[in-house]
Amino acid sequence: MKSISIMLILAFQLWFCIVGISHGQSIVPGFMIFGDSVVDTGNNNNQLTLVKANFRPYGRDFGSHLPTGRFCNGKLATDFTVETLGFSSYPPAYFSSEAQGENLLYGANFALAASGYWDKTAILYGAVPLTRQLRNFEEYQARIKAIAGEENATELIRESIYLLSAGSSDYVQNYYINPLINKLKTPDQVTSLAPLGCLPASITLFGKDKNDCVTRLNSDAIGFNYKLKAAAEALKKSHPDLKLVVFDIYNPLLDLVQNPSKYGFFETRKACCGTGTIETSLLCNAISIGTCSDASGYVFWDSFHPSEAANKALAGALLLQGIELIS
């Protein structure tokens, strides 16, 4: 149940935090992923939460044609990114059985669906908050030292790419639907946003019977994005050795929605799963009536998350923006 906030810090605005470049089979030695359902590859599978995607039809177009816990019909944007960077396998979900031994030597995925910058958002849905993910990362570092030795572990941690996707749940699953918080706080006082007004669920819930993107939600996203860029610039000034680029995901996604035929899509208002207007997580299931047979023409797989085809297009746009960091 996490909307679309793809790659780095913010829902629909990514931060590639790259602290060094190495050489070898992959462009960087490791890939560390934090955040929400846009990048969760199965950590929520064994958690006591209703926000899961480890059942059909999720994963139907993945390599194994089986659900993995990804909130998508196939690959996530981060999966495409990992492949482009030259990794032979994806960073294992930290709570999965694959997160053992040498599998951890090229990174790990700590993200869990419904997580947000505000811990209370995650707790509201029985999810693991971001602060817990950071503690898991500290545990991971200790495990890596035991496996590979302190010198190798230090190099891996120092030279890996760190990616964080969060913020959308704080708004769509908390701020906009919680009347108490909505009255007490302005959008500036919560966290980051994405072009949430174009999500099928956002249009259904807040569109007032119209089929257009919800202006208020998108305006909040634009306003926050300006503040995010300013914060990033301040962070780079205080940490001159940090390689930090703020990626624009708002405009690439908006372009997919406004000009779908340019990318080979034909449906933007409705998602593939079910009626395509509200279904996500448990509501997107094997018996959901109306689920499309081919999601390649749909920008959205369920009412909150992009399809594999859209993820591929978004990943390509983001990598072009960050090519200077990996060339």
The catalytic residues are: 37, 302, 305
Cα(262)–Cα(48) distance, integer angstroms: 41
Cβ contacts of 253-258, under 8 Å, gap ≥ 24: 253/4, 253/6, 253/12, 253/194, 253/195, 253/198, 253/306, 253/310, 253/314, 254/195, 254/198, 254/213, 254/218, 256/299, 256/310, 256/313, 256/314, 257/195, 257/198, 257/213, 257/299
Going by DSSP bridges, is the β-strand pair 107-109/31-35 parallel, antiparallel, or unpaired?
parallel
Asked whether the beta carbons of 269 and 164 are under 8 A apart, the reply is: no
Asked whether the beta carbons of 257 and 203 are under 8 A apart, the reply is: no
CA 197 to chain centre: 17
Tokens of 39: 């990048």
Tokens of 45: 């599978």
Matching residue, tokens 């495990």: 143
Where are the extended beta strands (E) located within the chain?
14-18, 31-35, 107-109, 161-165, 243-247
Q: Is it true that the peptide bond before 57 is cis, omega within 30 degrees of 0?
A: yes
In the three-class reduction of DSSP (H, G, I as helix; E, B as strand; rest coil), residue 108 is classed as strand
